């Protein structure tokens, strides 16, 4: 069973899709699970060592990521709706993300766990993000 369906330009996540990625303190990707790789359209080797903004969609306001980084750097958990590009940029997908800091071997990393948002949450995010820069 596929973890997403494509309607041409949007990849709509299935209910069981669970996308995980991890970065170091600088936002460099150190881990991504199979669901993240499949939906983002990359092999794992293309992701590890790259800045996480490689999947950023231009419709995402800078303010959302400023808030994300300020929150996790304070040691808190950020939740929010994110629109990402698929490799190549001709498709996108929406997720509901929970991002939080983890400590491993004395070093801080950040984890993001993502699932399918419901349609009206996507609609509100589209409206909100149009008002932000």
Judged by the rule CB under 6 A, the positions of this chain that interact with ligand FMN are 21, 23, 27, 52-53, 55-56, 60, 62, 65, 68, 72, 82, 84, 99, 110-112
How far is it, in rounded angstroms, from Cα 85 to Cα 93? 7
Question: Measured from the CB atom, is 1 or 86 closer to ligand FMN?
Answer: 86
Question: Measured from the CB atom, is 102 or 119 closer to ligand FMN?
Answer: 102
In whole angstroms, how close is the CB of 13 to ligand FMN at the nearest point?
13
In whole angstroms, how close is the CB of 3 to ligand FMN at the nearest point?
16
Question: Encoding tokens for residue 76?
Answer: 């808190």
In whole angstroms, how close is the CB of 14 to ligand FMN at the nearest point?
18
Question: Measured from the CB atom, is 1 or 66 closer to ligand FMN?
Answer: 66
In whole angstroms, how close is the CB of 51 to ligand FMN at the nearest point?
7
Question: Measured from the CB atom, is 84 or 125 closer to ligand FMN?
Answer: 84
């Amino acid at each position: 069973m596929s973890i997403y369906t494509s309607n041409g330009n949007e990849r709509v996540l299935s209910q069981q899709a669970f996308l995980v990625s991890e970065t170091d303190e600088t936002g460099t990707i150190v881990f991504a699970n199979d669901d993240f790789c499949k939906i983002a359209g990359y092999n794992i080797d293309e992701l590890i060592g790259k800045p996480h903004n490689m999947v950023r969609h231009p419709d995402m306001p800078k303010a959302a990521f400023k808030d994300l980084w300020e929150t996790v750097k304070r040691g808190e958990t950020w939740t929010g709706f994110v629109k990402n590009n698929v490799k190549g940029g001709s498709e996108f997908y929406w997720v509901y993300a929970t991002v939080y800091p983890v400590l491993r071997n004395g070093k801080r990393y950040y984890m993001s766990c993502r699932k399918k948002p419901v349609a009206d949450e996507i609609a509100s995010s589209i409206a909100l993000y149009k008002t932000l820069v």
